[in-house]
């Protein structure tokens, strides 16, 4: 699979007829950024949209918004399984391929992402650079779970056994499975790939465009939350809703 990237170039006035105003650069799959997403669910009040991105040889960037939280800090972790058969409790413990004690994002479990801070309205907006989290290779977290917890994670400093296991972060409020998102999903003229493992029907693609059209009424809000990734988040979210 190859993707096409269009980059704008300026045409010299003296060669306007001969010069193409765009050049096409072919990018191999190895050079592309891997993008995944997670929709936090299984809660009547807590919801979230998380985007994960990694280019080869770089840390994983995790950006998202979670709503419906109590103000304050909440533990946030990648869990071992992407199993939601029994809600969040079937996702197992923190992802810990190295068999170490719970801690902070630098030296604890690979799945230890620390805390996210909810403001007075219960909204947590965050950007996390996770050096030990991979979307590529044998230790990829794609297919595993993401969980937001009721309490603050003590980062393994609580002085008891549970602190070294879970950070005393409390109940699992909401969770979701980390899934890949095909690059075509963000193209306005309609890629057919989805996070469900099947192609979209014509009806679903039409429904997705209507959902995105509605989202674009708050384009400034999406841009504020996700920056250059705003459109990708719109299409990833709309695709999931359209294919329910």
Q: Strands 22-28, 85-88: parallel, antiparallel or unpaired by DSSP?
A: unpaired
CB distance 5 to 150 below 8 Å: no
The interaxial angle of helices 202-215 and 230-242, nearest 10 deg, is 130
- What does the alpha-carbon distance between residue 183 and residue 34 come to, in Å, rounded to a whole number? 9
Contacts (Cβ under 8 Å, ≥6 apart) of 239: 185, 194, 195, 200, 208
CA angle 167, 173, 177 (to 5 degrees): 95
- What does the alpha-carbon distance between residue 103 and residue 111 come to, in Å, rounded to a whole number? 10
- Rounded alpha-carbon distances, angstroms, from residue 243 to 38, 52, 196: 15, 21, 8
Give the residue numbers annotated as catalytic, written as ranges: 77, 79, 94, 102, 109, 112, 149, 172
Calculate the CA dihedral of residues 137, 241, 236, 206 and round it to 10 degrees. Answer: 130
3-state secondary structure at position 210: helix
């Amino acid at each position: 699979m190859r993707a096409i990237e269009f980059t704008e170039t300026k045409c010299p006035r003296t060669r306007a007829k001969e010069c193409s105003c765009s050049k096409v650069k072919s990018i191999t799959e190895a050079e592309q950024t891997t993008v995944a997403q997670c929709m936090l669910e299984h809660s009547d009040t807590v919801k979230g949209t998380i985007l994960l991105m990694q280019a080869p040889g770089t840390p994983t960037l995790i950006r998202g918004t979670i709503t419906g939280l109590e103000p304050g800090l909440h533990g946030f972790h990648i869990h071992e399984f992407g199993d939601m058969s029994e809600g969040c409790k079937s996702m197992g413990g923190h992802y810990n391929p190295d068999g170490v004690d719970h801690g902070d994002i630098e030296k604890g479990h690979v799945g230890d992402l620390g805390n996210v801070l909810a403001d007075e309205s219960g909204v947590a907006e965050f950007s996390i650079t996770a050096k030990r989290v991979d979307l590529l290779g044998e230790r990829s977290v794609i297919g595993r779970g993401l969980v937001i917890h009721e309490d603050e994670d003590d980062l393994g400093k609580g002085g008891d056994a549970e602190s070294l296991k879970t950070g005393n972060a409390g109940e699992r409020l909401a969770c979701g499975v980390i899934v890949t998102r095909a690059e075509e999903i963000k193209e306005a003229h309609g890629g057919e790939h989805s996070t469900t493992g099947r192609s979209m029907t014509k009806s679903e693609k039409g429904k997705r465009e209507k959902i995105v059209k509605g989202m674009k009424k708050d384009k400034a809000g999406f841009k504020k939350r996700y920056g250059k990734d705003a459109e990708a988040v719109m299409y990833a979210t709309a695709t999931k809703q359209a294919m329910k």
